[in-house]
Structure 1
């Protein structure tokens, strides 16, 4: 697949670049450029990102970072079986546990929430950093919801991280998930409170908490573009009515002129 010439591969994360040093220089450059494209496109155009990931995988399947990138690209395209296989391969190569939560979420995507819950209780979770543990909590709560256990999902999300007033990269998502679970359980007032707290922490717009709040408050957004079109249509109708009125008036004037001419003719005949 074509890669823009301005993408050099130097944009890649230093740790990934270090992994790629095991490859011949030219090959390492090709792989790194494809990985840069994956990173740039995965949010906005996951299908294209997936294609670049497959190229990188074909070139360097024995590099853990490449298997991980391929896993995330497959995950973004809801190819959960493929994503899980790539994440497992990356974990075997690196020996790390960072991918444990997303692997569990793949199990959810495959319709196996009970496996995701089992993974939430494994020793690997204790080896995760705080962000990873919060992510695992989110996945476990999602699995509970998949199984229809709403109250258990709410309890799963209740944690010191949820109660903390500090803002971390995961704070907005944790609060949002809690609000959404509360709403699903019919606890609307509490849900509104937590959507507001999620919005307060969501500086990057990672959630649609503002829209959910507006929906709960009964606020309806009107598309300004649609309003303009409606105004144009109304204006056209008004113009048509005006033209019609002018025609009617012109016809009335013509009738009056005809009546005047007839009267003048009668007067002349009588004279």
Structure 2
């Protein structure tokens, strides 16, 4: 059976999946729920490969070169539109051609507005006064993402940061605990920085740039026509506007406005391209 394996950020998943189910037979769509453990890499055996996968899972993306070598993955022809120029200029076009980004999720710092001398950069989190006062989500995907980025940016000092961080809960839980003052600082994806129950959470867009987690499409060679339908929907103005407005993520469609926070911070991202990213996440 042809399968479309959907793993989307929780803030946009339900609505986008519901729309997909009006476009293609519902039984073709398999929805991957958020989970603590890593997911298995995609197979390199053709009969076991979904026609289309949407994912931000590091355990899948790190296997890019093996997927290419298998010869069973190939980008669909007919995808529109081309990536917006400001995102492309930052190196989000995969030179291998395997991954087609549909959005980029910035990872930022939040802090309780009542603390004094709040951080303005990732390096500021190395201050000893933040030991045990920083909360970050516990799912493995986010732990590994943080380890990769921290080691790339901070080098040996990354271990100091890791000792200061308490890994517990999902991004929404981190927002809640920073709002309540249980922790002074949190590390979350941008969608969980915008609001809090008591309005005590403030966004810090780090001076070095937000860490970036791409959400990508991966297509099997010879994928079904429904895979192209869903792919083009996810890249459409309608879906991309929802991703930007509600999901608070960076859209790739050139006609869709960026989220306010991304515009205000000039889309400053700590990102050095796909080959750098793939190499780095394979080392953590």
TM-score, normalised on structure 2?
Answer: 0.24
Greater fraction of residues in helix: 1
Structure showing greater radius of gyration is: 1
Structure ranking higher on relative contact order (CA contacts 8 Å, 6+ apart) = 2
TM-score, normalised on structure 1?
Answer: 0.25
